[in-house]
A and B are shown apart, each in its own frame.
Chain A
């Protein structure tokens, strides 16, 4: 029981951090959720995380909220085996995600005009935006490639090397690369809606595998 309470508090704190440090919307948030939930806490695997993102993209609502709700449910119900605690987990994660926006937005509404023409604020945002683009790119790279640092050799403190493997759960064969390329082309040049692309992808999965 105490373990469950600690997990719940950890979940709340983690999503509070994610909500505070997400600048640039839902996709930027994915890289933070991934960093905390998959890499740091190892609550979910890369494969499960990708599934959750897929489900979040198909259900209505902001992708960050969907992912937080799902992760909250999954982490707590997997640890305790109870649906009810899972619901509590999803509630905690979603509330924690929204809370920082709430506090900061209320301050911004009050200082509306003052904020807009502040040059320091503009300077910071000018550097934050490119960083956020890189972070979103990293989320895609982590789901595609897995980087592992080799342990240090005797007498050294630095890792002896880096190996990079393809994440086989997400890219098992050439067909998956073909699907990736087709979806990219359809979305980037064809401006095909993501929902339609995901529906087609599910159908393609049934046909190809």
Chain B
């Protein structure tokens, strides 16, 4: 990695804005772009990237935003992380705002209505696919599958807020792990 302070905040912003503008499909699509842009400029070591990804994944929030915060901080501290995050978020903010402003006046256009009739079922299929691939990689035991199923039923059919479910699971898992650790001692 280069000496901290050598890279201007403006350059960090510009590089991340470019990454943000060319990412379609969310955080995982952004990973190869960030990785290649950072390595190409010698901003980051080869072995630093997996650590950044792992930590960004385990923190709350969006993967792409977390990676930008982390990488920006490694480059230029707090200012760097703000510049990187602004850069990563700004292109999508502007693009979606323009779409939102235009779409409200196009919403009742018959062509748009028909296109969206075709889009809606496909959007749902595109949510099912990442869910299944995530479950397949993280659910290694029967209780993990039971937990997935219970969370699905609680939200979809009982109307319980996901926030409460995450809190309950987090606190319970924390207590159980703590208990297990202390019994073993």
Contact = CB atoms under 8 A, between A and B. Distances in A.
Interface of A: 17, 19-27, 29-32, 35-36, 39-40, 47, 50-51, 53-66, 69-70, 73-74, 77, 83, 86-87, 90, 94, 97-98, 100-102, 104-106, 108-109, 112, 115-116, 119-145, 147, 149, 162, 164, 169-172, 176-177, 179-181, 183-184, 187-188, 193-195, 197-198, 201-209
Interface in B101-158: 101, 103-104, 111, 113-132, 134-135, 138-139, 144-145, 147-157
Interface of B: 20-28, 30, 51, 54-66, 69-70, 73-74, 78, 81, 85, 88-89, 91-93, 95-97, 99-101, 103-104, 111, 113-132, 134-135, 138-139, 144-145, 147-157, 159, 161-163, 165-167, 169-170, 172-174, 176-178, 180-181
B147 A25 contact: no
A209 B118 contact: yes
B147 A101 contact: no
A62 B24 CA distance: 7
A106 to B, nearest CB: 7
Contacts of B154: 138
Nearest to A195: B24
A104 to B, nearest CB: 5
Given A66-B96, A123-B176, A132-B134, A61 B152 contact: no
Contacts of B178: 120, 123
B87 to A, nearest CB: 11
A36 to B, nearest CB: 7
Given A55-B100, A194-B25, 12 more contacts: A22-B60, A40-B161, A50-B124, A60-B24, A90-B93, A101-B69, A119-B177, A130-B139, A134-B147, A142-B155, A164-B157, A198-B123
A176 B120 CA distance: 8
A205 B166 contact: no
A193 to B, nearest CB: 7
Contacts of A20: 60
A109 B157 contact: no
Contact of A128 (B25, B63, B93, B170): B170
B99 A170 contact: no
Contacts of A97: 61-62
28 contacts: A19-B60, A23-B166, A27-B134, A51-B116, A55-B103, A59-B24, A61-B92, A69-B92, A69-B97, A90-B93, A105-B69, A106-B69, A112-B51, A124-B174, A127-B172, A132-B166, A134-B150, A135-B165, A137-B152, A139-B127, A145-B156, A162-B157, A172-B117, A176-B120, A179-B118, A179-B121, A202-B118, A205-B114
A131 B165 contact: yes
Contacts, number: 382
A169 to B, nearest CB: 7
B55 A169 contact: no
Nearest to B64: A62
A26 B62 contact: yes
Nearest to A202: B115
Nearest to B144: A130
A55 B99 contact: yes
Contacts of B153: 138
Contacts of B161: 35-36, 39-40
A35 B155 contact: yes
A31 B55 CA distance: 22
Contacts of A54: 116, 119-120, 122-123
A84 to B, nearest CB: 11
Given A25-B26, A61-B92, A203-B118, A138 B151 contact: yes
